[in-house]
Amino acid sequence: MAKHSPIFSREDVTKLFIVLCFFSFFAVFALYQYGYVSKPLSLITYNLRPIARTRANGTNINRTAASRYFMPVLMFLKSGPQHNYIRFRDALPLVALQNRTLVAYPIRNHKTQDNASEARNLSVTFDIELLKQFVPVVTPYEFFRQCNGSAVVMNQRIRSKRGNLLKEIYRDTGLLFQEIKHNKENSAAKSTFARRLSSLWEYPCIIYQPRSTPYYNFTLQWKKTAKEAYRYLKKAPYLRSMGEEGARHICEGKKYLALHWRNRSGEWCTSGRKQFCNFTRLNLVSESPQLVKAFQNFMKLKNISCVYLAFPPFAKKMYDILRPHIPQLYTKEDLIKTVPSIAAYKNDNFVISLVEQEIVKRADKFIGCSQSAWTQFAKFERADMNRRTMSLRAVKGMPKGVLAIN
Tens digit of each residue's pLDDT (9 = 90 or more) over 229-244: 999 999 999 999 999 9
Q: What is the pLDDT of residue 123?
A: 95
Asked if 324 and 278 sit in the same domain, the reply is: yes
Smallest CA-to-CA distance from 136 within 227, 68, 236, 65 is with 65
Average pLDDT over residues 214-239: 82
pLDDT surpassing 70 at residue 37:
no
Q: What is the pTM of this model?
A: 0.77
Residue count (the chain): 406
Q: Name residues whose C-beta falls within 8 Å of residue 129's C-beta, 6 or more positions apart in sequence.
A: none
Instruction: State the pLDDT at residue 184.
Output: 54
In terms of domains, do 298 and 153 share one? no
The answer to whether residues 267 and 171 belong to one domain is: no
Q: What is the pLDDT of residues 251-303, one digit of tens each?
A: 888 899 999 998 765 555 555 545 445 545 556 778 889 999 999 999 999 99
Between 330 and 118, where is the model more confident?
330
Q: Tell me, what's the pLDDT at 188?
A: 45
286 in the same domain as 146: no
Secondary structure letter of residue 204 according to DSSP: S
Looking at per-residue confidence, does 27 or 333 come out higher? 333
Same structural domain for residues 203 and 267? no
215 domain residue, yes or no: yes
Q: Are residue 73 and residue 126 in the same domain, yes or no?
A: yes
- For CA atoms 209, 212, 217, 221, the dihedral sign is positive
Q: Report residue 201: phi and psi, to 5°.
A: -55, -40
Q: Which of 2-6, 16-20, 244-248 has the highest mean pLDDT?
A: 244-248
Q: Which of 230, 253, 287 is the last residue of a domain?
A: 230
Select from 345, 363, 374, 331 the least CA-distant residue to 124: 345
**pLDDT tier, 156 (very low <50, low <70, confident <90, very high otherwise):** low
- Does 40 reside within a domain? no
What pLDDT score was predicted for residue 60? 38
| 51 occurs within a structural domain | no
Could you tell me which residues come within 8 angstroms of residue 302 by beta carbon, excluding any fewer than 6 positions away? Answer: 257, 365
Residue 2 pLDDT greater than 60, yes or no: no
What CATH number is given to the structural domain containing 130? Answer: 3.40.50.11340
Range picked from 71-85, 185-199, 352-366 for highest mean pLDDT? 352-366
Which residues is 155 bridged to in the sheet?
Answer: 209
Pick from 343, 95, 67: nearest CA to 203: 67
DSSP per-residue letters across 27-53: HHHHHHHH-PPPPPPP-PPPPP-----
pLDDT value of position 79? 67
What is the pLDDT averaged over residues 366-378? Answer: 90
Contacts of 314 (CB under 8 A, 6+ apart): 263, 266, 267, 269, 270
Residues 272 and 359 in one domain: yes
Task: Show the beta-strand stretches assigned E in 101-143.
Answer: 101-103, 107-108, 119-120, 137-138
- By the 8 A CB rule, do 328 and 259 touch? no
Question: Are both 246 and 159 inside the same structural domain?
Answer: no
Q: pLDDT tens-digit profile of 52-67?
A: 433 333 333 444 666 8
Q: Domain limits at 383? A: 237-405
Structure confidence at residue 32 as a pLDDT band (50, 70, 90): very low
- Domain final position from 191, 213, 230: 230
226 in a domain, yes or no?
yes
Considering the domain architecture, whether residues 210 and 183 belong to the same structural domain is answered as yes
273 and 316 fall within a common domain: yes
Which residues does residue 208 pair with via DSSP β-bridges, in sequence order?
72, 154
Residue 243 lies in a domain: yes
Q: What is the pLDDT of residue 243?
A: 95
Q: How far is CA 105 from the centre of its chain?
A: 10
Burial code of 226-249, b = ≥16 C-beta within 10 A, e = fewer? beebbebbebbebbbebbebbbeb
Q: What is the CATH number of the domain that holds 278?
A: 3.40.50.11350
254 found inside a domain: yes
Are residues 260 and 387 located together in one domain of the fold? yes
| Pair 156, 284 in one domain | no
13 located within any domain: no
Q: Which residues of 300-334 are buried (b: 16+ CB within 10 A; e: fewer)?
A: eeeebebbbbbbbebbebbeebbeeebeebbbbeb
121-153: per-residue pLDDT in tens? 999 999 999 999 999 999 999 999 999 999 998
- Count up the domains in the chain and report the number: 2
Does residue 31 fall inside a structural domain?
A: no
If one counts every other C-beta atom within 10 angstroms of the C-beta of residue 395, the result is: 19
Q: What is the mean pLDDT of the chain?
A: 78
Where among 214, 230, 246 does a domain terminate?
Answer: 230
> pLDDT tier at 209 (50, 70, 90 boundaries)?
confident
CA distances from 147 to 152, 210, 213, 400 (A): 10, 21, 29, 55
